[in-house]
């Protein structure tokens, strides 16, 4: 396989690039809105931030606990999850 074919084989499709740009735009708008909320009403902002932090941390730690139990037991049940 030539070098030019290898570089083009790993390129992402144009739809992925458009999705990345849209996601970055929406994330930027959300960041600006969060900063505005932090300056307008900091007490409510920090309460919401804490709830979101606990929610997403709980999801990731729960998934990590299931993964550790799966590796500890050595069964095939974790592949289904």
pLDDT in tens, 40-73: 999 999 999 999 999 999 999 999 999 999 999 9
pLDDT score of 8: 62
What's the rounded mean pLDDT across residues 14-33?
A: 93
Longest dimension (CA), the chain: 60
User: How many CB atoms lie under 10 A from the CB of residue 38?
Assistant: 14
């Amino acid at each position: 396989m030539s070098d030019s074919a290898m570089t083009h084989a790993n390129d992402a499709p144009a739809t992925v690039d458009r999705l990345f740009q849209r996601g970055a735009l929406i994330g930027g708008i959300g960041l600006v809105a969060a900063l505005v909320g932090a300056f307008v009403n900091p007490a409510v902002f920090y309460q919401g931030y804490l709830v979101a932090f606990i929610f997403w941390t709980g999801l990731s730690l729960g998934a990590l606990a299931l993964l550790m139990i799966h590796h500890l037991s050595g069964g095939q049940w974790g592949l289904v999850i």
